[in-house]
Amino acid sequence: MRRLGLRDLIWSLACAVLIIQANPLTAQPFNGCPSEEILAAWNDFGLAGKPPPPAWRSFVRDPKAQYIEPWKAFDNVHYVGACWVSAWAIQTSDGVVLIDTLHEPHVDQLVANLGKVGIDLADIKYVLMTHGHFDHVGGAAKLKPLLTNAKFVMTQTGWDEAMESARASESTPLRWSMIPQDIAVKDGDVIQFGGNNFAVFETPGHTAGTASYTFDVKDGASTYRAVSIGGLGLNAIKNSKQVEVFIASLDRLNGLLKQQNRPVTVHLTTHGFSNGLMEARDRLSARKPGELNPLVDPDALLKQIASLRSGAEVRLDSERKAGR
């Protein structure tokens, strides 16, 4: 397996968001947003660290193909993202926390989605960004002047990665901009806001600056601890050391599910196809009174982490055999 060059690396860091062709393909590879089909296609190139095919790049930049109607996941949480990449709005007594920013050309839809669920942009007080890849922070430049009361948050290494990736894109057709650094957080930090605690876990591996966040979600009289895991893929892996760090982060996340005090039982994923999010949404809309919210599924999260770890072990063996 060859080592990615600069241009291929930028494609990977962008997570297949833009396409170098002037016109997108008219035929889309998926009908709607089917998790299993998208995940299978992603695994074909993402696990091996190969650049995405043109049809995929067209899919993730097509506003029509990416459109998802916003929906309520919990009493205090709305999904306001796209098919390929998530954005979550968590409401508190003091305002709203947004997780990740989407990317162009979908930022206008994110803004519209927030309005559809009744969220005033002035009420957004924090934007928690998971890592410096374009599809998670590429919308920040457009959102920054609109979210006049918001603080943008990421790890220091995440900020550095985002700045470097944006600079590297300047001489390519993939050019994008990143906002100046705002707030840098570190492992163990807790943002106490509006009666909720947003805890920061540095979970490097997907990138060195990846972070995951835990917080409370409410469903009727019940409160659950949720996590948004910052990095789920091996698409930007450079060597075996990075895979080893990725595995260590998965093991740490696994521990959050098994801890005695307030274990994590909900995964509000950064990529919905990774855990069947849209199918869970459909089950949620059909839920009968008294039934458990289908997003409360610790067993599925344990299984997902185990699957990611298994794939990482395969990749680790591949990197070691290649001498990296």
Contacts of range 140-147, beta carbons closer than 8 Å, 24 or more positions apart: 140/101, 140/178, 140/179, 141/176, 141/177, 141/178, 141/179, 142/104, 142/107, 143/101, 143/107, 143/110, 143/111, 144/179, 146/111, 146/121, 147/98, 147/121
Check if the beta carbon of residue 192 is closer than 8 Å to that of residue 94.
no
The top-level CATH class assigned to 68-321 is alpha beta
Q: What is the pLDDT of residue 46?
A: 66
pLDDT tens, position by position, 168-217: 999 888 789 999 999 999 999 999 999 999 999 999 999 999 999 999 99
Tokens of residue 8, six digits: 């291929």
Question: Which residue in the block uniquely carries the two structure tokens 């789920």?
Answer: 232
Q: What is the pLDDT of residue 8?
A: 39
pLDDT tens, position by position, 240-278: 999 999 999 999 999 999 999 999 999 999 999 999 999
Q: What is the pLDDT of residue 49?
A: 64
Check if the beta carbon of residue 232 is closer than 8 Å to that of residue 272.
no
Mean pLDDT of the chain: 90
pLDDT tens, position by position, 17-38: 333 333 344 468 888 999 999 9
CA-to-CA distance for 74 and 217, rounded, in angstroms? 6
Question: Which residue in the block uniquely carries the two structure tokens 């968590």?
Answer: 90
Sign for the CA dihedral angle at 103, 278, 98, 161 comes to: negative
Counting residues of the chain whose pLDDT is more than 90, the rounded percentage is: 79
The whole-number average pLDDT for the span 55-70 is 92
* For the chain, domain boundaries: 68-321
The whole-number average pLDDT for the span 278-291 is 97
Identify the weakest region by mean pLDDT among 8-22, 51-65, 145-159, 262-276.
Answer: 8-22
Count of CB atoms situated within 10 Å of the CB of 282: 11
